[in-house]
Structure 1
Amino acid sequence: MTKDSTNKDNISKDSGAFRTIGELSKELNIKPHILRYWEDQFGMLQPLKRAGSRRHYRPEDVEMVKTINRLLNEEGYTIKGARKYLTSRKNRQTAPVVPDNQDQPALPMAATVNKDNGQIVKDLKMVRDKLSSALNQA
């Protein structure tokens, strides 16, 4: 077998390499039209588009697609729920990190929480009981 006749399917790309939509589709077993649909639904998924609108997925795009696939197809999220999850995760990652300052006291623990907690728990139990009763009657 000559060097020119090697099968392209047997060649695996480096994890940091860009992938075309076809390569990503084969790698993750997700049809290309699904990947294009996810681009419309998840604004944070924006592969590079080169000449002729050819998509090139960066390593971070590949990770995003893997996460979306896991949320939708393994964990049962809806598209709206997955979008919300990814947005909240992104916000947490970009939140400013507050350095530890030993001069400031720690936040108070649960021992000093509002005394109304007992009433809130009672109200929640009452609502739970009403819902349970309504479900049993249905």
Structure 2
Amino acid sequence: MSATFDAKFDDGKEDGALRTIGEVCKALGIKAHVLRYWEQQFPMLNPLKRSGGRRYYRATDVAMVEQIDRLVNREGYTLKGAQQALQPSKSAAQPSAKQPVAPQIQPRNPSSGQTAASQNDVVTADVIAKIRSIRTKLAAALDA
């Protein structure tokens, strides 16, 4: 995971500076109680805690919060699904001696300039939209 993040902080601090929970909440538009809950649900989200329980988020913590927010609030993942998506796979963490580790390369589609991953995101968004439409129709049919 990259230490860069998209959050916009207007506090004059350097990009890698520690941030309080209030600063992270304001920059990302997430409530403090939600961040505290996510800390319980996602063990990899572990901000520094000082005396009195005051939380300080590192750049990597902010990037993790952004990923969780994207998965849960924009892509429709459940918390359990987001946890699984953010967990490193066992095969990637511990490569077998028989399997060479190949670099992960995102092939480009020459006609659109998009990576295969971004194309998959578009396809995934379309599938989610279709599933939601089916869910709505099914609910209407069951209520009738």
| TM-score relative to the length of structure 1 | 0.59
Match of 1:15 in 2: 15
Separation (CA, whole Å) in 1 of partners of 2:47 and 2:92: 20
The answer to which structure has the higher helix fraction is: 1
Q: Which residue of 2 aligns with 1:50?
A: 50
5+ residue gaps in structure 1? 1-8, 101-138
**TM-superposed deviation, 1:51:** 1.1
- Residue aligning to 2:122: none
The alpha-carbon deviation at position 14 of structure 1 amounts to 1.8
CA shift digits 1:11-50 (9 cap, x unpaired): 3432211100000000101000000000011111110100
Amino acid at match of 1:13: K
SS at match of 1:64: helix
The aligned counterpart of 2:39 is 39
- SS of 1:38's equivalent? helix
**Count of equivalent residues:** 92
SS in 2 for 1:16: coil
In 2, Cα distance between equivalents of 1:67 and 1:94: 20
> How many angstroms apart in 2 are the aligned matches of 1:92 and 1:13?
39
Matches within 5 A, 1:1-138: 10-88=10-88, 91=90, 94-96=93-95, 98=100
Q: Aligned pair in 2 of structure 1 residues 84, 11: CA closer, same or farther (>3 Å)?
A: same
- TM-score by length of structure 2 reads 0.56
Runs of 4+, deviation exceeding 6 Å: none
> Which string of whole-angstrom CA distances, capped at 9 and with x for unpartnered residues, describes residues 31-84 of structure 1?
000000000111111101001100000111011000000000111100000001
Letter in structure 1 aligned against 2:75: E
SS at match of 1:56: strand
RMSD: 2.4
Secondary structure of the 1:40 match is: helix
